[in-house]
């Protein structure tokens, strides 16, 4: 005997459209497997005249988004519109009306998570967001449930497929940034306006969510330092490879002393690290804990079908809880914690300098680093005369000291340009 659960969906674009199609096409197989008859009651969209890849009964598709919240036959609401204000208000209204909510909206969770989780707790219903990070990769549930007892030390994530696609093209084919971005746009991996992806902002929202769940301290969107990939050049990718590294845009969330650091920036990562081999639009999240050791989760981080799978898993989970009839407690509680400012984080720098190759230049550059308290691990010179490049890798020092060293370099007369800076991830000091 199957139990009917009325589902209301806000948004039927890439993810919502794929979800509606799955709910309609796989209704009987889902019921056979779970005992739940998930019935799509309403699907709210902006433009009723747009062609859709799914078929629903007359009256199900609507441009009246409030009806999804108000319909008494809807037991569970799925938000797949995107954005934080309107979507957030609708999610809040649904939770306050006692309806569980599932969303894939990282921006919403990262910016309004605590309020929405509190509203869900007041109503005793679920608020689930597995698809908000890593698309089809199960990572929210493993972090907040399976690893609830593990004092996670560090999470490293390649959580933006667009940038990983671009970096893979640059590294493997020597393509420059602009051409790789254009190709990503042609193939549909990058939006016409790619700013959110290439600036690291999209990855920062995901980093905030991963860190919050890993450490049980709420990390807001504005707490995450982020840098993008638009300043990277294929020259650095080639040097990185010669030195045994891959360059990746990495979301880093780690415990530092009693605090937590969360940041997103390009990282030179050793070629034998599991994240170095993550190619193309694939996403991967690498977790380190003292008891569990190292875990790697990888797979498709975006796309309608994979993301809809993660959403569907949450829908089934929330429907089961609805049926159980109990008050649902939040999966995780957050306690206050210190966020370590990026300036205090120990980092290692790779820095590429364009210099005039003259006697005494190296000594002046070493002095610029030394006076900031940064010691140099290694120096390579490429080219000669006015074409010379110096590639420097520093030892670990506070990020603020590394920046002070970079400022000191401006005093070196023979320095023509600080061409690039990439942080280096390695176990060495
Ligand atoms: N795309 C992915 O691969 C992916 C992966 C993980 C997470 N996500 C997240 O999933 C969410 C949805 O992404 P998406 O790519 O599916 O977006 P999308 O293709 O742009 O679809 C958005 C949907 O919301 C509807 N909508 C927008 N504003 C509305 C309004 N004011 N009233 C009613 N409906 C409205 C649109 O209606 P129309 O169809 O009429 O325009 C459309 O159906 C976002 O939060 C995104 O970050 C996406």
Residue nearest to atom 21 of ligand 1 (CA): 13
Copy the structure tokens of residue 155.
């999470």
DSSP element (H, E) containing 330: none
46 lines ligand 1 (CB under 6 A): yes
How far is the CA of 133 from the CAs of 70, 112, 207, 261, 272, in angstroms? 29, 15, 8, 18, 25
50 ligand 1 Cβ < 6 A: yes
- Tens digits of residue pLDDT in 104-145: 999 999 999 999 999 999 999 999 999 999 999 999 999 999
Q: What is the pLDDT of residues 16-29, one digit of tens each?
A: 999 999 999 999 99
- Three-state DSSP state, 410: helix
Measure 224 CA to ligand 1 centroid, in angstroms. 24
Give me the residues paired with residue 260 across strands: 255, 339
CA 362 to chain centre: 39
88 lines ligand 1 (CB under 6 A): no
User: Which pLDDT score is estimated for 211?
Assistant: 97
75 alpha carbon – ligand 1 mean position (Å): 21
Which domains, ranges and CATH numbers included, belong to the chain? Answer: 3-136+304-324 (3.40.50.720), 149-299 (3.30.360.10), 342-424 (3.30.70.260)
pTM of the model: 0.96
pLDDT at residue 49, rounded to an integer: 96
How far is the centre of ligand 1, averaged over its atoms, from the C-alpha of 81 (Å)? Answer: 4
80: Cβ below 6 Å to ligand 1? yes
pLDDT for the residue 6: 97
Query: For ligand 1, atom 4, which residue shows the shortest CA distance?
Result: 302
CA 84, CA 90: separation in Å to the nearest integer? Answer: 10
CA distance 427 to 239: 20
Residues 228, 233, 236: CA angle, nearest 5 degrees: 105
SS3 257: coil
Please work out whether the CB of residue 110 comes within 6 Å of at least one atom of ligand 1: no
What confidence score (pLDDT) does residue 327 get?
80
Task: Tell me, in angstroms, the distance from the centre of ligand 1 to residue 145's CA.
Answer: 28
To test the ligand 1 pocket, which listed residue (8, 9, 11, 285) has its Cβ within 8 A of the most ligand atoms? 11
**Can you tell me the distance from the alpha carbon of 416 to that of 386, in angstroms, rounded to the nearest whole number?**
9
Dihedral angle over CA of 120, 82, 165, 354, nearest 10: -100
Please tell me if the CB atom of residue 89 comes closer than 6 angstroms to any atom of ligand 1. no
Q: Which residue's CA lies nearest to atom 41 of ligand 1?
A: 46
User: E strand or H helix at 105, and its extent?
Assistant: none
> Environment class of residue 411 by beta-carbon count within 10 Å: exposed (0-12), middle (13-18) or buried (19+)?
exposed
User: What is the DSSP track for 8-27?
Assistant: EEE--SHHHHHHHHHHHHTH
CA of 310 to the centre of ligand 1 (A): 15
pLDDT score at 27: 97
Going from the Cα of 97 to the center of ligand 1, the distance in angstroms, rounded, reads 23
Q: Which residues are catalytic?
A: 206
Q: Check if the beta carbon of residue 141 is closer than 8 Å to that of residue 205.
A: no
What is the number of the ligand 1 atom nearest to the C-alpha of 79? 11
| Residue that has been written with the tokens 């009806």 in this structure | 67
Within 74-153, where are the H helices?
85-96, 106-123, 140-141
Centroid of ligand 1 to alpha carbon of 144 (angstroms): 26
- DSSP-based three-state secondary structure for 245: strand
Question: With b meaning 16 or more CB within 10 Å and e meaning fewer, what string describes 380-410?
Answer: eeeeeeeebbbbbbbebbbbbbbbbbbebbe
Q: Which residues of the chain have pLDDT under 70?
A: 1
Q: What is the predicted pLDDT for the residue at 359?
A: 87
Question: Which residue has its alpha carbon closest to ligand 1 atom 34?
Answer: 45
13 lines ligand 1 (CB under 6 A): yes
Query: Which mutation among 8, 9, 22, 80 tests ligand 1's pocket best, with the greatest number of atoms within 8 A of CB?
Result: 80
Sign of the alpha-carbon dihedral angle for 102, 103, 108, 113: positive
The ligand 1 atom at the shortest distance from the C-alpha of residue 108 is: 45
β-strand partners of 378: 393
Beta bridge partners of 36: 3
Using an 8 Å Cβ cutoff, are 193 and 309 in contact? Answer: no
Nearest to 223 by CA among 236, 238, 237, 207: 207
């Amino acid at each position: 005997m199957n139990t009917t659960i009325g589902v209301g969906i806000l948004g039927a674009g890439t993810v919502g459209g794929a979800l509606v199609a799955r709910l309609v096409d796989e209704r009987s197989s889902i019921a056979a497997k779970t005992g739940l008859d998930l019935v799509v009651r309403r699907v709210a969209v902006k433009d009723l005249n747009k062609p859709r890849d799914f078929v629903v009964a007359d009256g199900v598709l609507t441009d009246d988004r409030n009806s999804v919240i108000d319909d008494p036959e809807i037991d569970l609401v799925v938000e797949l519109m995107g954005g934080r204000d309107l979507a957030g208000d609708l999610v809040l209204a649904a939770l306050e009306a006692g309806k569980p909510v599932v969303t894939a909206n990282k921006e919403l969770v990262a910016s309004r998570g605590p309020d929405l989780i509190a509203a869900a707790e007041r109503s005793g219903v679920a608020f689930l967001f597995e698809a908000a990070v890593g698309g089809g990769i199960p990572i929210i549930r493993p972090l907040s449930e399976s690893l609830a007892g593990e004092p996670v030390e560090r999470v490293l994530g390649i959580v933006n497929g667009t940038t990983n696609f671009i970096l893979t093209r640059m590294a493997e084919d020597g393509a420059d940034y602009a051409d790789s971005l254009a190709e990503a746009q042609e193939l549909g991996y990058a939006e016409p306006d790619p700013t959110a992806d290439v600036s690291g902002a999209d990855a920062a929202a995901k980093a905030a969510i991963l860190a919050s769940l890993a450490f049980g301290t709420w990390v807001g969107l504005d707490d995450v330092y982020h840098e993008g990939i638009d300043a990277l050049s294929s020259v650095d990718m080639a040097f990185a490879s010669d030195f045994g590294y891959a360059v990746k845009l990495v979301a880093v969330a780690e415990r530092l002393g009693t605090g937590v650091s969360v940041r997103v920036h390009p990282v030179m990562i050793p070629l034998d690290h599991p994240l170095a081999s993550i190619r193309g639009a694939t996403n991967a999240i690498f977790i380190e804990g003292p008891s569990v050791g190292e875990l790697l989760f990888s797979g498709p981080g975006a796309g309608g079908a994979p993301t809809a799978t993660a959403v569907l898993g949450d829908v089934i989970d929330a429907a089961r809880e609805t049926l159980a009839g109990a008050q649902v407690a939040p999966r995780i509680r957050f306690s206050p914690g210190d966020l370590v400012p990026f300036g205090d984080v120990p980092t290692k720098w790779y820095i590429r300098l364009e210099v005039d190759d003259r006697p005494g230049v190296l000594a002046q550059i070493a002095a610029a680093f030394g006076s900031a308290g940064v010691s140099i691990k290694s120096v390579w010179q490429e080219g000669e005369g006015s074409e010379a490049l110096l590639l420097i890798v520093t030892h670990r020092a506070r990020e603020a000291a590394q920046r002070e060293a970079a400022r000191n370099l401006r005093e070196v007369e023979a320095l023509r340009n600080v061409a690039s800076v990439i942080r280096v991830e390695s176990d060495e000091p």
